[in-house]
Chain A
């Protein structure tokens, strides 16, 4: 009964979506907003990665809201799973020798790659969120290899808070220096250099550290409580 009603509803939904998407031609030319960003993006923001210039510079306030959402999610997970910490490794089998040795070798390399991804966010594909996720995956590998692993809460909390404060602080500095919040007030430099694009590298480093430590905290909460 419920299944039949659900399939009927899905059929109606599918026809509605198909009719709506008939009117959107696939692969058409870009909108005016996108044309403006593509033509003027490099000279107005200094970043050659246009997606970065949209995320951090043109739509920077949305990114601030999104960082807040991630902070609230991490806070919620910490509050909900506030319980007895699991006494290390009980009921969980040891990882094999390949996983344990491989994790020891790969952990610094993955960290290095994550730092590279969010440091070069304005030049190559990537950025703060992607680099933070790669950092968190290095710690996830560590949790898989050693069942009794714990990561210090104080360090993670400090890193997360510092990242958020740097982001908002740079925004307020932009307000003081040039008139509106999150203004790109540092010199833009020459495109395709590492030290270019104004405050975009600074903001992305802050976001990378914040997202990485937040995701490690979420994983740690899910793994370490029983």
Chain B
């Protein structure tokens, strides 16, 4: 079910980028795409019954006392950590581009900004 939630976020993000005309909504759609990707990556790295991958003292004691301790996969979490910060950078840069576009053209509607002769 975590996969379904992540795919839903991805689809909402794609819809916003494809259909909406307001530039800020397009930027929000890109942010939704980021979030959906992160959730999907972390969900793929889950191990049933596993706990956080931090080998603290209490975890080590319970491993030595009896039974085995499983931890979840630490590699997707490390990748997502980086990716979240990159998402923030992309959002900040995109929003500052939108601010400059608004100053120059006076509108936030993507259909009315026709600098390119397409």
- B-binding residues in A (CB < 8 A): 2-3, 6-7, 9-10, 13-14, 17-18, 21, 24, 26-31, 33-34, 37-38, 41-42, 48-51, 53-55, 59, 62-63, 66, 69-70, 72-74, 76-77, 80-81, 123-125, 127, 129-130, 133, 191-192, 211, 215, 218, 221-222
Contacts and interface: CB of A to CB of B under 8 A. Distances in A.
Contacts of A133: 85, 88
Given A3-B19, A18-B7, A31-B73, A10 B14 contact: yes
Contact of A73 (B54, B77, B92): B92
Contacts of A221: 96
B54 A37 contact: no
A77 B96 contact: yes
The secondary-structure label for the interface of chain B is helix
Contacts of B99: 80-81, 222
Given A26-B43, A129-B84, 7 more contacts: A6-B15, A6-B18, A28-B48, A38-B53, A51-B81, A53-B74, A70-B86
B2 to A, nearest CB: 7
Interface of B: 2-3, 7, 10-11, 14-15, 18-19, 43-48, 52-57, 71-75, 77-78, 81-82, 84-86, 88-90, 92-93, 95-97, 99-100
Contacts, number: 134
Contacts of B18: 2, 6, 9-10
B3 A42 contact: no
A12 B85 CA distance: 30
Nearest to A192: B57
Contacts of A74: 89, 92
Contact of B89 (A34, A69, A125): A69
A17 B37 CA distance: 12
A80 B97 contact: yes
Given A38-B53, A69-B86, A80-B97, A13 B14 contact: yes
A117 B97 CA distance: 32
Contacts of A66: 82, 85-86
A17 B100 contact: no
Contacts of B88: 73, 133, 215
Given A6-B18, A26-B2, A30-B47, A21 B82 contact: no
B93 A34 contact: no
A146 B104 CA distance: 29
Contacts of B86: 66, 69-70
Contact of B96 (A29, A38, A81, A211): A81
19 contacts: A6-B14, A6-B19, A13-B14, A14-B11, A27-B47, A27-B48, A34-B45, A37-B75, A41-B74, A48-B54, A49-B53, A49-B54, A50-B53, A50-B55, A51-B53, A62-B82, A72-B89, A73-B88, A218-B92
